[in-house]
């Protein structure tokens, strides 16, 4: 176990101004707090926070982060309190410990919603302070290093969560070394046989290659030195987990992979990167399609490097990564290294240690876009799904007409691009031009495409876009816009209902008073209250009472918008509906009927008025392409004083008394039979087409339930009409 003075020396070696007294106090406090607690391995529990702190010293983090690492479990696992930590170590360290404690309370759970909530907390805490993420990743890394001591079923859960969330999150934050180690340990725990097979194959390749790695390193170094470029060339072998993932993604065998062995060329400065590239490309033949310039177009995690593949010495395919020492440090340590160069005059400023400053980091711009989606109220499971899409996605780089660079996941289309520019741009998008030509919005984008979004302020994004969008941001925004559009429709209906009821009391609608009334009913906002009223979730009687009216004692002063259909042979029936001009004649579709309590729509027939259909009517399909004929209707609950028709399809057993049982049950239920017709008859059953008159949907359902209980009645169902 690392001694107290050893930890302090590690910190002061890169940060001479570190608060040694505070580090000593944190070490002693954590050791005493954890006391005799032990880990699953049997080691003292304090070894865990101490190893987490040691990992963070390798990243050269500030003294406050090291102290938070030592203390990160004391509030959760000991008698220590947040207040005590703040009093002893100050608000900065207490805030870091508090953020980590809140995250840990839901750690390592299998339920997706709880896992999503855990990720939400982590991302929100990260957005406030990057050091929370760094401590959390170091914590997870040490737990993974000691995974062998955990029970097998729990081991698999931890490994899967690490592979799904923490390893890719480390990658998105640019921390390549930590990502590789987390990935490989998870891979070993989840797929031990696959990993063992890859390792054996790598051993065979090493034996076949002999000293080829050393030879290639020497040839590359010599060739670059000849052209006056000081370069450090090192060979490296791809990790088993990375090999396996690439084999799965591209459906390749191990022998087909060309980049199992790669070489890193580290040079002194940025111009030397391109000089080295020129030397390599003019000395050896380039493999077409294998060149990427991440210096000109950095990845979202701030990674910068030039990638190229050549047919190098010994006619072997050689993958090269060319970058400066600063770029290499950022590539390995990500956000932990990024800030070291932010205000430094020279790359070696990293050695002195600087506090985390991440305001201009691409990685944190990506993080902020994720945090924005949290504010849009996504369901936790949906948020987890979309975050995984963002974590695992490869990238394409596209441009706006003004030259702004937009990074998107591979497979993204113009819809994703529009939402990446701004949510309002996505919501108002109606078309696009890709490289100057009109193209469908679903067109998959390629590297270097220039996309111009065509907008209309009258546009509302169709709900179907959610299925074709690739980014979590686009999907969340589309779903939110769809919800708002539906809510606005119901809010409009709710306002109309309230205005008409207020008119009966010679009162006018006022937004401020209505908002106060809804707050009394426990509804947060006016729009939500009106939408709830429109959906029927809030009763207009309750709103009136909250406004100070007594609906029971005060009689309406006039009848408002009650309409009747013209008299017919069957006599005049009042059709009490809202949402239509009272002068238009109304009729209920005889093929289905319609009763109060069920959702209805009207279809305008020019010259004949409006036909009312229940929403399930099959006849509505023929009007799908004529939206201008549709009229949004609702029953006027205050004017219902009649019976309404409902058409039923009834199957009776072909036995004596079956028809009598049918008619008697309907009569006992208080309904009238308007029409009854036998449509077919077989040996065992016969079908009846029946129209009955009832008060509302509840009345109808009671009768249908009673009919279905009768022994001589086989089935009863609503008629849907003909398409």
Give the containing element (helix H, strand E) for 683.
none
76 is catalytic: yes
User: What single DSSP character describes residue 163?
Assistant: I
User: Rounded distance, CA 54 to CA 69, Å?
Assistant: 9
Place of tokens 């099959």: 618
User: What single DSSP character describes residue 100?
Assistant: H
Q: Which of 20, 43, 77, 674 is catalytic?
A: 77
Instruction: With beta carbons less than 8 A apart as the criterion, state whether 600 and 613 touch.
Output: yes
Instruction: With beta carbons less than 8 A apart as the criterion, state whether 617 and 723 touch.
Output: no
Instruction: With beta carbons less than 8 A apart as the criterion, state whether 691 and 648 touch.
Output: yes
User: Rounded distance, CA 573 to CA 145, Å?
Assistant: 79
User: What single DSSP character describes residue 294?
Assistant: T
- DSSP helix/strand/coil, 688: strand
User: Rounded distance, CA 424 to CA 418, Å?
Assistant: 9
Long-range CB contact pairs, 97-104, < 8 A, 24+: 97/68, 97/71, 97/72, 99/125, 99/128, 99/129, 99/132, 100/68, 100/72, 100/125, 100/132, 100/135, 100/136, 100/139, 101/72, 101/75, 101/76, 103/132, 103/136, 104/72, 104/73, 104/76
How do 713-718 and 644-653 pair as beta strands?
A: antiparallel
655 is catalytic: no
Q: List 451's β-bridge partners, or say none.
A: 434
Q: What is the CA radius of gyration of the chain?
A: 35
- SS3 of 396-461: the string is EEEECCCCCEEEEECCCEHHHHHHHHCHHHHHCEEEEEECCEEECCCCECCCCCEEEEEECCCCCC
DSSP 233-256: EEEEE--HHHHHHHHHHHT--GGG
- DSSP helix/strand/coil, 572: coil
Please enumerate in sequence order all residues whose Cβ is within 8 A of that of 61, keeping only pairs 6 or more positions apart, or say none: 131, 134, 336, 353, 356
User: Rounded distance, CA 611 to CA 591, Å?
Assistant: 11
Tell me the CA distances in angstroms from 30 to 26, 36, 69, 517, one per residue in order: 6, 12, 10, 54
Place of tokens 């009391």: 505
Place of tokens 């047919």: 311
User: Rounded distance, CA 346 to CA 268, Å?
Assistant: 11
Q: What stretches of 105-251 show up as alpha helix (H) in DSSP?
A: 112-128, 130-145, 152-161, 167-172, 176-190, 192-209, 212-226, 240-250
User: Rounded distance, CA 583 to CA 441, Å?
Assistant: 44
Place of tokens 């059953």: 685
Q: Which of 58, 76, 528, 689 is catalytic?
A: 76
- Closest Cα partner for 48 from 71, 28, 25, 78? 71
Which residues participate in catalysis according to the annotation? 76-77
């Amino acid at each position: 176990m690392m001694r107290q003075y050893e930890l302090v020396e590690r910190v002061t070696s890169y940060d001479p101004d570190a608060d040694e007294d505070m580090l000593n106090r944190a070490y002693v406090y954590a050791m005493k707090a954890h006391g005799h607690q032990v880990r699953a391995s049997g080691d003292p529990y304090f070894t865990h926070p101490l190893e987490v702190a040691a990992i963070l010293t390798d990243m050269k983090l500030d003294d406050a982060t090291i102290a938070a690492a030592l203390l990160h479990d004391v509030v959760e696992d000991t008698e220590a309190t947040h207040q005590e930590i703040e009093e002893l170590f100050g608000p900065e360290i207490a805030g870091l410990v508090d953020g980590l404690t809140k995250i840990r309370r839901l750690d390592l759970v299998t339920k997706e919603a709880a896992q999503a909530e855990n990720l939400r907390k982590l991302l929100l805490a990260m957005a406030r302070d990057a050091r929370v993420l760094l401590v959390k990743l170091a914590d997870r890394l040490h737990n993974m290093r000691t995974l062998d001591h955990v029970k097998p079923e729990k081991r698999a859960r931890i490994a899967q969560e690490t592979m799904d969330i923490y390893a890719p999150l480390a990658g998105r934050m640019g921390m390549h070394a930590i990502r590789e180690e987390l990935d490989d340990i998870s891979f070993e725990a989840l797929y031990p046989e696959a990993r063992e097979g890859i390792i054996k194959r790598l051993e065979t390749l090493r034996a076949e290659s002999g000293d080829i790695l050393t030879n290639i390193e020497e040839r590359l170094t010599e060739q670059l030195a000849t052209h006056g470029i000081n370069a450090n060339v090192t060979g490296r072998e791809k990790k088993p987990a990375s090999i396996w993932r690439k084999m799965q993604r591209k459906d390749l065998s191990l022998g087909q992979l060309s980049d199992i062995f790669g070489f890193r060329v580290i040079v002194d400065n940025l111009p030397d990167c391109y000089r080295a590239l020129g030397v390599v490309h003019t000395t050896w033949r380039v493999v077409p399609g294998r060149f990427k310039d991440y210096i000109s177009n950095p990845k979202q995690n701030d990674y910068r490097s030039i990638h190229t593949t050549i047919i190098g010495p010994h006619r072997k395919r050689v993958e090269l990564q060319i970058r400066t020492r600063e770029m290499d440090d950022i590539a390995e340590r990500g956000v932990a290294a990024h800030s070291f160069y932010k205000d430094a005059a020279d790359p070696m400023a990293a050695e002195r240690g600087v506090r985390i400053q991440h305001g201009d980091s691409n990685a944190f711009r990506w993080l902020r876009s994720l945090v924005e989606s949290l504010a849009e109220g996504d369901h936790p499971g949906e948020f987890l799904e979309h975050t995984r899409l963002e974590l695992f996605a490869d990238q394409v780089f596209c441009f706006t007409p003004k030259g702004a660079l937009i990074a998107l996941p591979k497979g993204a289309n113009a819809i994703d691009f529009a939402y990446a520019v701004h949510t309002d741009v996505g919501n108002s998008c109606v078309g696009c031009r890709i490289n100057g030509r009109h193209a469908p919005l679903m067109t998959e984008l390629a590297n270097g495409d220039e996309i111009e979004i065509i907008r209309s302020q009258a546009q509302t994004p169709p709900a179907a876009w959610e299925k074709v969008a690739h980014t979590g941001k686009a999907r969340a925004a589309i779903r939110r816009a769809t919800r708002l559009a539906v809510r606005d429709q119901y809010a409009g209906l709710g306002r109309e209902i309230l205005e008409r009821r207020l008119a009966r009391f010679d009162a006018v609608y006022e937004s401020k008073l209505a908002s106060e009334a809804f707050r009394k009913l426990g509804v947060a906002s006016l729009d939500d209250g009106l939408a709830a009223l429109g959906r029927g979730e809030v009763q207009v009687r309750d709103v009136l009472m909250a406004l100070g009216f007594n609906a029971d004692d005060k009689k309406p002063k006039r009848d408002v918008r009650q309409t009747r259909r013209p008299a017919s042979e069957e006599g005049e029936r009042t059709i009490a509906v809202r949402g239509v001009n009272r002068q238009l004649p109304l009729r209920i579709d005889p093929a289905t009927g319609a009763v109060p309590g069920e959702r209805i729509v009207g279809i305008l027939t020019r010259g004949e008025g409006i036909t009312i259909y229940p929403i399930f009517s099959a006849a509505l399909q023929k009007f799908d392409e004529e939206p201008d004929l549709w009229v949004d209707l609702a029953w006027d609950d205050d004017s219902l004083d009649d019976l309404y028709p409902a058409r039923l399809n009834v199957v009776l057993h072909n036995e004596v008394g079956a028809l009598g049982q049918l008619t008697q049950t309907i009569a006992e239920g208080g309904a009238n039979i308007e029409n009854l017709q036998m449509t077919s008859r077989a040996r065992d059953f016969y079908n009846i087409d029946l129209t009955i008159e009832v008060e509302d949907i509840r009345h109808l359902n009671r009768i249908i339930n009673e009919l279905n209980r009768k022994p001589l009645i086989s089935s009863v169902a609503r008629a849907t009409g003909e398409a």
